Amino acid sequence: MLVNDKAEHQSVQLQLRDPYTFEFLGLQAKDVVTENDIEEALIVHLQEFLLELGKGFCFEARQKRIIIDGEYYYADLVFYNRLLHCSVIVELKNDEFLHEHIGQLNAYVSYYAENEMQPGDNPPVGILLCTHKGKKMVEYALGSMDNKLFVSTYKLQLPDKQQLEQFIIKECHND
């Protein structure tokens, strides 16, 4: 299952969401929130987080230690998706997408493919969750990578009524 295989890529993409809504965490977007704060809140609200992720997700690990070239690295959250039959590595960022984030996630996914896959598993999937993403930068950063990597955004709160109304008016004018 390579990223170049469009049917397989689309199948995985159908199982993943963008954006995710983490309103159930009770964190305020205006407050300074660290990646650790978000991770801790997601673990406390694991049931709601699994429901937000979608079907088939099973929790496997938090801060999963990975040793590469004698150095320790930590994947934020690791799941197994029983519908996709693969590990799903989730990296959390408390800021907008930067191209170096995808390199980190790609290393973790490659490690999992080589060291953690079991017979019958499909190659692992990586999800980078960040507050904002530029479509072109994501496209260029993912470029020719063979791994299944996805960049999704999250919101700690749904927009207020006025913001939703402005969005709907804007979308109606674009059609």
Per-residue pLDDT of 44-55, as tens digits, reads 777 787 887 888
Q: Which domains does the chain have, with CATH numbers?
A: 6-174 (3.40.1350.10)
Residue 139: which of 89, 175, 102, 88 has the closest Cα?
A: 102
What is the phi/psi pair of residue 75, to 5°?
-75, 130
What is the Cα gyration radius of the chain?
17
pLDDT tens digits along 101-149: 999 999 999 999 999 999 999 999 998 988 888 888 888 888 877 767 7
Burial label, 37 (beta-carbon count in 10 A; 0-12, 13-18, 19+): middle
For Cα atoms 18, 117, 55, give the angle at the middle one, nearest 5 degrees.
Answer: 35
